[in-house]
Amino acid sequence: MNTDEFSEQAKDLAGRMQGYADEYGIENVAVLYIGFGEIVKFVEAASSHEILGDVRWFGTDSNTNDVALVKDSTVAFIENTQFTTVQVSASGESAFNKVRDYVKENLGREPNSFAHSTYDTIWLIGLAMLEAQSQEAGPVAAVLPAVAAKYEGAIGSTVLNDAGDLADADYSIWGVRDGEWKRLGNFDYKDRIIALDESG
């Protein structure tokens, strides 16, 4: 969908959420927003529907640390709905700090959710091209799992599972509190534990 105006979609969602709230109870329903930068326009449209401000909202890694969501037109709604997102925890100490510090120095803010994984992706593709001695997709893809298994980057371990996803990723839980993005907790893959910070 390529639009900047979401009033019809917000109205449709409000009707659905009212039905779910009536059937299951408002405390048992929530919105999971899966999208990118258009969330700002969607939230602006959603804020005119009381039911959408009365339920909990969740988002994806693409929404985490999105500075546009803490602007005047959206921050009250985002805080009211306890908008919560997750993203892969960046844990590779030296590379993580290098990327974070570079972004903070040059942009004046924390990196968004894709900075660390993008950094690692570029390195992995480059290393796989060197290993395969090719720029063709087939040979690069064939060596990528072995290259990823040996690489420790900004997000930490990049060992892949059979589906090509990170095999053992931890996740950070984020939300907007007091007008800014804050880390609320963490999911530890190895121990299968969700630990929430005080603000979470």
Q: Note the pTM of the prediction, 2 decimals.
A: 0.78
Instruction: Extract the tokens encoding 167.
Output: 């095999």
97, 76: one domain? no
Which residue in 41, 89, 34 sits closest to 57, CA to CA? 34
143, 79: one domain? no
Q: Residue 24's domain spans which residues?
A: 7-85+171-182
In a domain, 166, yes or no: no
In a domain, 36, yes or no: yes
Residue 156 has what pLDDT? Answer: 85
61, 115: one domain? no
Dist CA 4 CA 51 (whole Å) = 22
Spatial contact of 151 and 123, defined as CB atoms under 8 Å apart: yes
Report the chain (200 residues): mean pLDDT per 10 consecutive residues: 81 98 98 94 96 97 90 93 90 78 88 84 97 98 97 90 89 92 90 81
Distances (CA, A) of 88 to 66, 112, 170, 183, 188: 15, 12, 6, 12, 11
Which residue in 166, 175, 171 sits closest to 187, CA to CA? 171
76, 110: one domain? no
Spatial contact of 144 and 136, defined as CB atoms under 8 Å apart: no
131, 33: one domain? no
Residue 2 has what pLDDT? Answer: 56
In a domain, 114, yes or no: yes
Neighbours of 69 (CB within 10 A): 23
Residue 113 has what pLDDT? Answer: 65
Dist CA 45 CA 7 (whole Å) = 5
